[in-house]
Structure 1
Amino acid sequence: MAEGTQTQNRQLYDDSALFHITDDYRETTSDEYHDFQLFVYCSGGYAKIKIADREYFISDHTGLFVMNNNVLTWLEVSPDFTMKAIFIHGIYLTVDEPDIMSYNFRMSALIESPVVKMTDRDLAFFLETIECIRERLPIHDHMFYRPVLHNLVHIMMYDFYDIHSRQNQAGNSIVYSGRQSMRYFHDFITMLENGSYKSEREVRWYADKLGITAKYLSEISLDTSGHTASFWINKFTMAEITRLLRNPTLSIKSVGEIMKFKTRSYFSHYVKEHLGLTPMKYRAQTIGKKD
């Protein structure tokens, strides 16, 4: 490859718009970041917040995960409150999320218990990873720009899940609410985690399994997580599709068949609608292979 072409390829990606890092809590509810997932790390002071219809108290060495900032409200903030927050766009996570899903990516558990208590080491790890992401974002000429950022995001999420798991084992997690609607949502996410999305992508199918209407399931999902049931079905589906497309031993036709799409044209349309690229273009960009 000619040096000029290689330089041009290295400058192709700039994902800085898919991240936002701030230490101002007021920015965490901005409409500008509606499609972003939010991680907040409190390093001093305290705050009372509301996520959907539940209130939480966060203080020094507290971590917080919010799937959609539309459901977040700051009720009270102490004068000495300090925090660091990072927004990560949902599309960015969807592209490389399968690795996390394969290690029990329990979205429903985080929605039920979004607040974790962090040790000095936990907080240091998170702040260090966020700083690494900040420093890496403007290095557009790095040959492995996206893989490096993806790995940093994965490190941060693995650390968060490690804390969440430790607290659950110790019995320190927030008590399960017991609301019937939350149980429905939990069972819905569990069906997706078990792979139902590989063949069933209609909200009605999941609603029928739960014994409720499709409209009610979408309302429950929106109230609980800030996203509709269709969003979650498509999120799990696209995560699996992108994982399969990165496997060079599978043809695009085979990927569509594995995911039970009736025709290749419908499969291609679905991927382009949700990813912005056809399966062929996505594969060419990620592994340089064309069918």
Structure 2
Amino acid sequence: MPDGNRIGLLAPAYIDFVLPNRWENIELKGEVEVYLMAAETGFFHEVTSKFRTRISERMMAFAQSPFILFSSEDAVRMESLVSALFSSMTERIDVFRRELVQSLMCVFLCELWNVVFRQCRSVLQPAELYKWGDSGGNFLHLAHVHCREHHEVKWYCEQLGISANTLTAVTKRLYGKTARMIIDELLLEEAKLALRNPDYSIQSVSDQLFFSDQSAFGKFFKRCYGISPALYRRQIFQGEIK
């Protein structure tokens, strides 16, 4: 797990490696059949554009614990969809191959999120979905992709065409956090990940994350994590933090 804890999952399960969370020391026991799906960002967002609003309520929570356990019925249904999807990807190139793969991927993801919502029992009502629009899902996407170089809420508001107050209202309603908090959390995870790399100096990490200088980076890290980047790195290398 990204926080250093260990967790065991019984198959069948769906696991999504959501950046910036990195999973390490993965151990497989027994005979395990694994399907790995990777898609370019543009292709994936074309697929999810129509229903991203409806899943935005759960996206942040799912990013923190990106796994779903399937019942036997869910497993059979999802396996048949995966089989159809992989088959369409490996067949000869036809005129509508991209559209076919996108359609099957959309069906797969809709079924997947049906399982998620059945387990959490918290789907927003249609009126609320219309009220909040796609701002929450679009903001999360932008924050995950651009948090390294854009730290200010203002930039995200400009991309979304909404005010800071509106964005804060959306994120607090959907995720229980302000936009500022979400950006800081994602940026902190990027910083912690970079600091674990001994090839990077603290100045290099500061530059990679587009801070004005190392002092500004240090203040940000200490405000969000409680200790300095140098102390965090020392504790990592001494094994005090997993």
Structure 2: distance between partners of 1:110 and 1:278: 33
Correspondence 1:61-140 to 2 at 5 A: 98-99=21-22, 109=55, 111-112=57-58
Asked if 1:234 corresponds to 2:157, the answer is no
Structure 1 residue ranges, 4+ long, deviating more than 3 angstroms after superposition: 107-110, 112-116, 161-169, 174-178
C-alpha deviations, 1:59-114, integer Å up to 9, x for none? Answer: xxxxxxxxxxxxxxxxxxxxxxxxxxxxxxxxxxxxx96216xx99xx98472489
SS of the residue corresponding to residue 242 of structure 1 reads helix
Residue equivalent to 2:231: 281
Q: How many residues align?
A: 152
Asked if 1:259 corresponds to 2:196, the answer is no
Q: Assess, with a 3 A threshold, how the Cα gap between structure 1 residues 199 and 179 changes in structure 2: closer, same or farther.
A: same
Correspondence 1:191-230 to 2 at 5 A: 191-194=142-145, 196-230=146-180
In structure 1, runs of 5+ residues without a counterpart are: 1-14, 16-95, 117-153
SS of the residue corresponding to residue 243 of structure 1 reads helix
Checking the alignment, whether the CA contact within 8 Å between 1:182 and 1:224 is kept in structure 2 is no
Residue equivalent to 1:90: none
Structure 2: distance between partners of 1:245 and 1:215: 33
Residue equivalent to 1:168: 109
Checking the alignment, whether the CA contact within 8 Å between 2:60 and 2:175 is kept in structure 1 is no
SS of the residue corresponding to residue 198 of structure 1 reads coil
Matched to 1:187, the amino acid is: N
Checking the alignment, whether the CA contact within 8 Å between 2:148 and 2:210 is kept in structure 1 is yes
Matched to 1:279, the amino acid is: P
Residue identity over aligned pairs, in percent, reads 23
Query: Could you tell me how far 1:168 is from its partner in structure 2?
Result: 3.3
In structure 2, runs of 5+ residues without a counterpart are: 4-18, 24-37, 42-51, 79-107, 118-122
Residue equivalent to 2:6: none
TM-score between both structures, scaled by the size of structure 2: 0.53
TM-score between both structures, scaled by the size of structure 1: 0.44
Asked if 1:187 corresponds to 2:138, the answer is yes
Checking the alignment, whether the CA contact within 8 Å between 1:204 and 1:214 is kept in structure 2 is yes
Query: Could you tell me how far 1:188 is from its partner in structure 2?
Result: 0.1
Q: Assess, with a 3 A threshold, how the Cα gap between structure 1 residues 171 and 285 changes in structure 2: closer, same or farther.
A: closer
Query: Could you tell me how far 1:160 is from its partner in structure 2?
Result: 2.8
Please give the root-mean-square deviation of Cα atoms over the aligned residues, in Å: 4.0
Structure 2: distance between partners of 1:244 and 1:230: 21
Structure 1: distance between partners of 2:56 and 2:162: 24
